[in-house]
């Protein structure tokens, strides 16, 4: 690889700059929610009216090239002189109209404005005046969180008061839209028993509100669905109010989380919401240890795949420290913050910096966003208007999280998902999350070759039929654990819905049939193993990487299944860990299937009753990741869209732009802190060789190093050498 000469570099940069200037101009007539790509937010505290330096923030908006700002308007605290009774004015506001001032200067600076609300809680005087507007438990005690009263979503607070606040804000200040930090009201563990709820639920279900959690009770499941339905109504009602008062593009967009598990616990239905909104404001500020950086890219892909490839997803990215413990006023270590933002870019997410408080004494946090936001501006044409390239679809559904996950969704749903996803990232196999109701559309749009079910147990008949249809048409399948065991309400089926494809049946007596026993098993660990056939001739080809062992560590528990195909690996039950004299296998051979591989015409199906995905998320054993990747490669017959020669953990996310460019994000996660927050410094890698499969390509350019990369071609494969990656690189292959 040769570095570009100064002149070539200037030409390349100039060409890129021209292109990036052209892109937004061409779309100048598009509504704001399709144009505004970079956001900033100073989340005001109650004392900020007395200390904010507005000119400082205007300069920061300019420095960071934001096109829109989120400004606190109302909710828990109003930052304008509201006339609505009980709408609490921020304690430091006095007669000031800080929201109005900020809106005015933002408009002078040509920025889009989101009015920010936080609607779910209110002060004691409000509760005293209207106790029946607030959530109450079964004993009639009000629900109080952080000293504030949580409003009920079925009473006049949501039906009259909040619409009045929205109308006041939109009519007086004409923001482009309204976003709401916390709009969902009481969570799943905070059921409300007020008269409004009793009445509304009885009208729907013909029954009283359930008094206890009982997932086997149809009334309790109906209560879950009733809660979801009310949140969708709120979404629609609030949109009617803001569009009524502010015009058809004045959107109300709440806020959504990137954690499906959390979304389930607050009744926000990802698929239904994203299908009805023009834009998504994502409150997903940081990395969790068990999910890693790649979760951000994956979240962008997951939401885009249900909402539409072109919808924008700005994501609130904390510039302050969030980790196991949070420090809202101290800077997030720069390397940690950068990798999170860059992973968002790799998933098609738009940046939105977030500071908490108008005055910051840790000024280092102001240096984080600028270079990233400027880089985004320069290369934005490659970062939107594109579709992912992937052969693999990871299937998910929120009903599976609700009705199969129940109160153990971390162990039953999150862990298998995370383990599978991380094994694919580690193996550089690009994958796209696919909702089970979108199988037909997404597999067609992306030409997927393989669907993966990571312990996806709850499936309706129609969803199971869509999977069967995909296989019938030649698509391959990888399923783990209890996939297809239940119907969409989480009730155990007579047998696995995909039993004929998976080559296994669940006997009448089996621990998986008992929700309590299977949850206990999912949480547990024991010293168990998986046995590989001793004779190499009998070994399945996916096991080639394990020639020197007849045994793999496992950790989970399996009971007999009825298999119609000889298992490729079988289960060895738990043996004692100590004393050493006792550590020997009581049952070296059981024949209990751990892996079943079968072929159905051109389709390949791998079924892993052994929950290696969950185990990989927990134990990080390389054998587990390697076997998951080997099964995916076997199912795909080795056909992958890219290859990367480089050591370690590099998240590869390829996209195709509408203009036909192939854009590959490479995120360097080689780091002592890659799986545990926070990253403290970057560890550069290089040189790396990247090969992609593409149509006609004439040139390759790197967008971070800003160099033209010499290219070798072999058939449809194009190879470039990237000298070095510090944190991330984006390579564009153009026609």
Give the DSSP letter string of 259-283.
-HHHHHHTT--HHHHHHH-SB--EE
CB-CB contact of 130 with 149 (8 Å): no
Task: For Zn ion, give the closer residue by CB, 159 or 174.
Answer: 159
Min. distance of Cβ 132 from Zn ion in angstroms? Answer: 9
CB of 520 to Zn ion, least distance (A): 34
Token pair 């828990």 in the structure block, residue: 76
The terminus-to-terminus CA distance of the chain in angstroms comes to 20
Q: State in angstroms the smallest separation of the CB of 192 from Zn ion.
A: 3
Q: Which residue, 93 or 192, has its beta carbon nearer to Zn ion? A: 192
Q: What are phi and psi of 603, to 5 degrees?
A: -80, 140
Give dist(CA 374, CA 150) in Å, integer. 40
What are the residues binding Zn ion (CB under 5 A)?
152, 154, 192, 194, 197
- Pick the closest to residue 69 from 164, 142, 171, 175 (CA basis): 175
211 vs 472, which CB is nearer to Zn ion? 211
> How does DSSP assign 585-600, residue by residue?
-S-S----EEEEEEEE
Q: Which is nearer to Zn ion, 227 or 528 (CB)?
A: 227
Measuring CA to CA, how many Å separate 729 from each of 299, 647, 724? Answer: 20, 15, 9
For residues 194 and 630, which CB has a smaller minimum distance to Zn ion in the complex?
194
Which H, E and C letters describe 677-709, residue by residue? CCCCCCCCECCEEEEEECCCCCEEEECCCCEEE
Rounded to whole angstroms, what are the CA distances from 307 to 257, 322, 347, 407, 569? 15, 28, 14, 27, 40
Q: ω into residue 284 within 30 of 0, thus cis? A: no
Beta-carbon count within 10 A of 315 CB: 26
The least distance separating Zn ion from the CB of residue 242, rounded to whole angstroms, comes to 24
Question: For residues 489 and 615, what is the distance between their CA atoms, to the nearest angstrom?
Answer: 26
Complex with Zn ion: residue 152 or 700, whichever CB lies closer: 152
Cβ-based nearer residue to Zn ion, 152 or 166: 152
Nearer to Zn ion, 265 or 518 (CB): 265
Kindly state the smallest distance separating residue 13's Cβ from Zn ion, in Å: 58
Nearest distance from C-beta of residue 130 to Zn ion, angstroms: 12
- Is residue 46 within 8 Å of residue 90, measured between CB atoms? yes
Comparing C-alpha atoms, which of 294, 313, 293 is closest to residue 303? Answer: 313
Q: How far is the CB of 241 from Zn ion (least distance, A)?
A: 21
**Minimum CB–partner distance for residue 135 and Zn ion (Å):** 5
Closest to Zn ion by CB, 201 vs 718, is 201
Instruction: Report, in Å, the least distance between residue 152 CB and Zn ion.
Output: 3
């Amino acid at each position: 690889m040769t570095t570009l000469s100064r002149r070539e570099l200037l030409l390349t940069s100039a060409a890129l700059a021209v292109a990036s200037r052209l892109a937004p101009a061409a779309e100048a007539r598009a509504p704001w929610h399709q144009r505004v790509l970079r956001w900033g937010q100073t989340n005001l505290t109650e004392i900020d009216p007395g200390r904010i330096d507005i000119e400082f923030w205007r300069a920061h908006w300019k420095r960071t090239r934001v096109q829109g700002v989120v400004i606190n308007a109302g909710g828990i605290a109003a930052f304008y002189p509201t006339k609505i009774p009980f709408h609490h004015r921020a304690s430091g506001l006095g007669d000031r109209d800080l929201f109005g001032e900020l809106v005015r200067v933002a408009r002078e600076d040509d920025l889009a404005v989101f009015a920010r609300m936080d609607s779910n809680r209110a002060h004691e005087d409000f509760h005293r005046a209207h106790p029946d507007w607030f959530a109450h438990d079964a004993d009639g005690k009000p629900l109080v969180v952080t000293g504030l009263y949580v409003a009920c979503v079925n009473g006049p607070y949501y039906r009259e008061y909040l619409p009045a606040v929205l109308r006041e804000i939109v009519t007086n200040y004409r923001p482009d839209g309204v976003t709401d930090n916390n709009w969902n009201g009481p969570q799943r563990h905070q059921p409300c028993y007020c008269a409004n709820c009793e009445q509304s639920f009885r009208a729907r279900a013909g029954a009283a509100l359930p008094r206890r959690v009982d997932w086997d009770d149809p009334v309790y499941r109906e209560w879950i669905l009733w809660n979801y339905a009310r949140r969708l109504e709120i979404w629609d009602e609030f949109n009617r109010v803001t569009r009524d008062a502010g015009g058809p593009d004045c959107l109300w967009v709440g806020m959504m989380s990137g954690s499906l598990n959390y979304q389930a616990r607050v009744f926000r239905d990802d698929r239904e919401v994203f299908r009805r909104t023009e834009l998504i404001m994502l409150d997903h500020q940081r990395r969790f240890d068990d999910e890693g950086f790649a979760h951000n890219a994956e979240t962008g892909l997951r939401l885009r795949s249900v909402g539409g490839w072109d919808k924008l997803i700005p994501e609130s990215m904390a510039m302050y420290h969030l980790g196991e413990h949070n420090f809202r006023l101290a800077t997030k270590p720069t390397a940690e913050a950068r990798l999170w933002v860059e992973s968002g870019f790799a998933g098609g997410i738009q940046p939105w910096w977030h500071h908490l408080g108008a005055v910051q004494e840790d000024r280092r946090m102001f240096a984080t966003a600028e270079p990233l936001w400027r880089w985004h501006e320069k290369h934005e044409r490659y970062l939107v208007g594109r579709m992912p390239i992937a052969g693999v679809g990871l299937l998910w559904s929120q009903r599976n999280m609700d009705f199969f996950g129940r109160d153990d969704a971390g162990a039953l749903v999150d862990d298998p998902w995370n383990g599978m996803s991380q094994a694919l990232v580690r193996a550089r196999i690009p994958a796209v999350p696919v909702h089970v109701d979108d199988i037909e559309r997404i597999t067609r749009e992306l030409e997927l070759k393989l669907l993966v079910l990571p312990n996806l147990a709850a499936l309706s008949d129609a969803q199971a039929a869509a999977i069967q249809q995909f296989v019938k048409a030649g698509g391959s399948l990888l399923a783990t654990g209890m996939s297809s065991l239940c119907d969409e309400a989480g009730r155990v089926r007579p047998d696995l819905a995909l039993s004929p494809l998976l080559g296994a049946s669940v006997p009448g007596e089996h621990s998986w049939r008992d929700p309590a026993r299977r949850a206990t098993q999912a949480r547990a660990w024991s010293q168990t193993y998986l046995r590989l056939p001793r004779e190499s001739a009998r070994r399945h080809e996916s096991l080639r990487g394990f020639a020197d062992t007849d045994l793999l560590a496992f950790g989970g528990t399996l009971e007999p299944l009825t298999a119609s195909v000889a298992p490729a690996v079988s289960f060895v039950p738990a043996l004692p860990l100590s004393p050493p004299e006792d550590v020997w296998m009581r049952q070296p051979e059981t024949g209990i299937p751990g892996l079943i591989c079968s072929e159905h015409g051109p389709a390949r199906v791998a079924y892993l009753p052994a929950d290696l995905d969950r185990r990989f998320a927990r134990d990080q054993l390389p054998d587990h990741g390697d076997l998951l990747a080997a099964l995916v490669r076997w199912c795909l017959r080795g056909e992958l869209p890219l290859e990367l020669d480089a050591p370690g953990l590099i998240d590869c996310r390829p996209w195709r732009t509408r203009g036909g460019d192939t854009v590959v994000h490479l995120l360097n996660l080689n780091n002592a802190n890659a799986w545990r927050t926070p990253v403290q410094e970057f560890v550069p890698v290089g040189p790396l060789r990247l090969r992609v499969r593409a149509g006609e390509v004439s040139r390759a350019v790197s967008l971070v190093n800003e160099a033209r990369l010499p290219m070798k071609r072999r058939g449809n494969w194009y190879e470039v050498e990237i000298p070095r990656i510090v944190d991330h690189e984006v390579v564009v292959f153009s026609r």
